[in-house]
Amino acid sequence: MVRLIAALFALAASAAAASAQDMLPSVWQSQGGAILKVLAADPVTGEFSGVYLSTPTAPCPLVPYRVAGRFHAPWVRFQTSRTWTPDCAATAFWSGRIIGPGTLALRWRSTSVGPDGRVVRRYGREIFQRL
């Protein structure tokens, strides 16, 4: 029984490693033109980091945001944030899954502070294609 559990654990670990390796390095583009660049990934945990460039039509076009997330096929979750400048400061949470080869379907919700000092919350969906 112990050997079976150990074998299953090893199989799960190797699957997670393969999934994380698939993400590194990679560049993804959304339907709206945003870019997600995965620059580092941990093959054991599936955690990754990188840079997100906002869409060209966003209130802050093509602004870089930090990315930190986790990939565990078929699921993907990550957070984008920009807190080091008052202009264009925002945090967004993304979650979704792989829906095909090189395609992610994600939901997002963002929080920022508007010019009047009020909290602005936005929600949406995006499809990302691997470039």
User: Number of folded domains in the chain?
Assistant: 1
Q: Tell me: pLDDT of 11 over 90.
A: no
How confident is the model at residue 24, as a pLDDT? 63
| pLDDT tens string 21-53 | 566 689 999 999 999 999 999 989 999 999 999
Question: For residue 110, what are the contacts with CB-CB under 8 A and spacing of at least 6?
Answer: 90, 91, 92, 93, 121, 122, 123
How confident is the model at residue 13, as a pLDDT? 39
| pLDDT tens string 59-94 | 889 999 999 999 998 999 999 999 888 778 899 999
With bands split at pLDDT 50, 70 and 90, how would you rate the model's confidence at 8? very low
CATH classification of the domain holding 53: 2.40.128.30
Cα(24)–Cα(49) distance, rounded to whole angstroms? 10
Domain that holds residue 115: 2-130
How confident is the model at residue 93, as a pLDDT? 98
Q: Tell me: pLDDT of 9 over 70.
A: no
With bands split at pLDDT 50, 70 and 90, how would you rate the model's confidence at 4? very low
End-to-end CA distance of the chain: 44
What residue ranges in the chain does DSSP mark as E strands? 26-30, 35-41, 47-53, 64-72, 75-82, 90-100, 103-113, 119-130
Q: Tell me: pLDDT of 1 over 50.
A: no
